[in-house]
Chain A
Amino acid sequence: MFAVELARGMWTTFRSMFERPVTYQYPEVKRPVRERFRGRHALKRYENGLEKCIGCALCAAACPADAIFVEASENTDAARYSPGERYASTYEINMLRCIFCGYCEDACPTEAIVLEHNYELSFTLRRQALYTREMLLDPVAAGGQPTPMAVPPGAFPRSIPVMQNPD
């Protein structure tokens, strides 16, 4: 019957008035993301402060959107950035190109690049879309030293580091 259907429709909308809103009061209340959500990238460090990235540019090779640019330089024992032979002296991700596929994460041999949960990537100029090494690097953990650090000669002999926390 038409009238019954009408009443059912009206009841449905009335009932939904007392449901919890599905929208969020955005800047104050943020929608929680899933554990494996792929947001802004972060460059990780070891516990003593050395950068995990060894500047191999495999992430740039894996990137389907060609969003990553890496330039590597040699480490020395007087100014050491990473435990390997080289480190990324320039590391830029163009967020206008990045499609957040996470292939860079998969390609990284040292697990240096990780896509994290920050999705608030707005900018007003195209240049601001260029995230540099300094912006992406995680802060030094407590008890670590900032890079570049001076280390005793011969402490890091391998060109490809063992993937564990150095002493």
Chain B
Amino acid sequence: MTLDWLTLAEWTIKSLILIVLLITGFAYLTLFERRVLARMQVRIGPNRAGPFGILQPVADGVKLIFKEELIPDKADKVVFVLAPVITLIPALIILAVIPFGPTVQIGGREVAMGIADDLDVGVLYIMAVASVAVYGITLAGWSSNNKYALLGGLRSSAQMVSYEIALGLSFIGPILLANSMSMRTIVESQQGWWFILVQPIGFLIFVIATVAEVNRAPFDMPEAEQELAAGYHVEYSGMKFALMFMAEYDKMIAVAAIGASLFLGGYWGPWVDQVPLLGPLYLFLKVMAILFLMIWMRATLPRLRYDRLMAFGWKVMLPLALVNVVFTAGLVLVIGG
């Protein structure tokens, strides 16, 4: 592809849209989570700032900006400052391979809704980038020079490495069925039926593994308040804490978008081929459904004990994922995709 200025402008605009989307998405996901959790606990939830509390994230942001930034005296300062950035960047760039809608014509120019959505190693890119995020968390725990932070960081990395295998194996189902690693091809091959219909176990493994991957309840081991204070981000305050927080929620959005694209048909829905703008809307609804499921699980399930969590990852999830891969491969071989 020749890099003329029009292409460059298109990519810049698309990246800007994506980043703004993720920042506002993070802000409103916190509000959504708080409201849903409140309703599940038979409370009302934050509804003071603005109508229905829609200005609550703004209030939280302003509060965090004016908080004192604290760097522990004995901390490794460079790594300490760098760690939130290393955590956040993968969460932001992972969405680049998600197609948001079909290709549209703008002024005689074919514009794909998505930045690198037709990348032929899209799924591999997701795995690679998702693994980088664990460095940020481990480094945050290490550089804080705090025993709780260190333990949280180590637990987090062990947990993420364990569940990444099951996660990767759950990706193989859609890859085999679509016969491609490009996210756009995977989404487009789900026009007839969603992959969740033939991959229910794959989807289940995906959901469990991603909840573990983004360190959320019931797998929020690294942050276990009762035993580790706040885990790896115990020493972080102010905007650096906000970055950690943002990374966590943006990762939630990212994995929800990946799940929606791999198993729930991505942007596909009725009349998308006639009205392309319906694509992002369908994707949004599917992402919201998965996010709701994650919040719902947090509201319901207590935290797992650490040894059980590891045992579950290696002794249940991994064999199940392997069986699912073999089963899917056999299915593709017999029926022919």
Shortest CB distance A4–B (Å):
14
**Does B308 count as interface, using CB distance less than 8 angstroms?**
no
C-alpha spacing A10/B207, complex, angstroms: 15
**Does B9 count as interface, using CB distance less than 8 angstroms?**
no
Contacts of B49 in A (CB 8 A): none
Comparing A11-19, A34-42, A45-53, the segment that makes contact with chain B is A11-19
- Which of B44, B297, B300, B301 is the one whose CB lies under 8 Å from A21? B44
Shortest CB distance A6–B (Å):
8
Q: Identify the closest chain A residue to B45 (Cβ).
A: A21
Q: Which of B21-55 contact A (CB under 8 A)?
A: 36, 38-44
C-alpha spacing A23/B296, complex, angstroms: 20
Contacts of A14 in B (CB 8 A): 40, 296
Contacts of A21 in B (CB 8 A): 38-39, 42-44
**Does B299 count as interface, using CB distance less than 8 angstroms?**
yes
Shortest CB distance B198–A (Å):
21
Contacts of B300 in A (CB 8 A): 9-10, 12-13
Q: Let me know if A23 and B301 touch, CB within 8 A.
A: no
**Does A22 count as interface, using CB distance less than 8 angstroms?**
yes
- Which of A10, A17, A25 is the one whose CB lies under 8 Å from B44? A25
Q: Identify the closest chain B residue to A12 (Cβ).
A: B300
Q: Let me know if A16 and B41 touch, CB within 8 A.
A: yes
Q: Let me know if B296 and A13 touch, CB within 8 A.
A: yes
Contacts of A9 in B (CB 8 A): 300-301
C-alpha spacing A10/B296, complex, angstroms: 7
Shortest CB distance B214–A (Å):
19
Q: Let me know if A13 and B40 touch, CB within 8 A.
A: yes
Q: Do A16 and B44 contact each other (CB < 8 Å), given the known contacts A9-B300, A10-B296, A10-B300? A: no
Q: Let me know if B43 and A22 touch, CB within 8 A.
A: yes
Q: Identify the closest chain B residue to A10 (Cβ).
A: B300
> Interface residues of B, CB < 8 Å — how many?
13
- B36, B38, B299: most-surrounded residue (chain A CB, <10 A): B299
Contacts of B44 in A (CB 8 A): 21, 23, 25
Contacts of B297 in A (CB 8 A): 10
Contacts of A23 in B (CB 8 A): 42-44
C-alpha spacing A10/B297, complex, angstroms: 7
Shortest CB distance A7–B (Å):
10
Contacts of A6 in B (CB 8 A): 301
Q: Which of B282-324 contact A (CB under 8 A)?
A: 296-297, 299-301
Q: Let me know if B299 and A13 touch, CB within 8 A.
A: yes
Shortest CB distance B231–A (Å):
24
C-alpha spacing A6/B297, complex, angstroms: 10
- B36, B40, B297: most-surrounded residue (chain A CB, <10 A): B40
Q: Identify the closest chain A residue to B297 (Cβ).
A: A10
Shortest CB distance B193–A (Å):
25
C-alpha spacing A48/B175, complex, angstroms: 90
Q: Let me know if B39 and A17 touch, CB within 8 A.
A: yes
Contacts of B38 in A (CB 8 A): 21
Q: Let me know if B40 and A16 touch, CB within 8 A.
A: yes
Contacts of A12 in B (CB 8 A): 300
Mask, B39-77, CB within 8 Å of A = 1, is 111111000000000000000000000000000000000
Shortest CB distance B45–A (Å):
9
Q: Identify the closest chain A residue to B38 (Cβ).
A: A21
Contacts of A17 in B (CB 8 A): 36, 39-40
Q: Identify the closest chain A residue to B299 (Cβ).
A: A13
C-alpha spacing A19/B43, complex, angstroms: 9
C-alpha spacing A15/B36, complex, angstroms: 12
Q: Let me know if B299 and A22 touch, CB within 8 A.
A: no
C-alpha spacing A19/B41, complex, angstroms: 9
Sample of 28 A–B contacts (CB below 8 Å): A9-B300, A9-B301, A10-B296, A10-B297, A10-B300, A12-B300, A13-B40, A13-B296, A13-B300, A14-B40, A14-B296, A16-B39, A16-B40, A16-B41, A16-B42, A17-B40, A19-B42, A20-B42, A21-B38, A21-B39, A21-B42, A21-B43, A21-B44, A22-B42, A22-B43, A23-B42, A23-B43, A23-B44
User: 8 more A-B contacts (CB under 8 A) besides A13-B40, A16-B41?
Assistant: A6-B301, A13-B300, A16-B39, A17-B36, A20-B42, A21-B38, A23-B42, A23-B44
- Residues of chain A touching chain B, judged by Cβ–Cβ distance below 8 Å, are 6, 9-10, 12-14, 16-17, 19-23, 25
Query: What are the 7 A-B residue pairs with the smallest beta carbon separation, nearest first?
Result: A13-B300, A17-B39, A13-B40, A21-B44, A9-B300, A13-B299, A23-B43
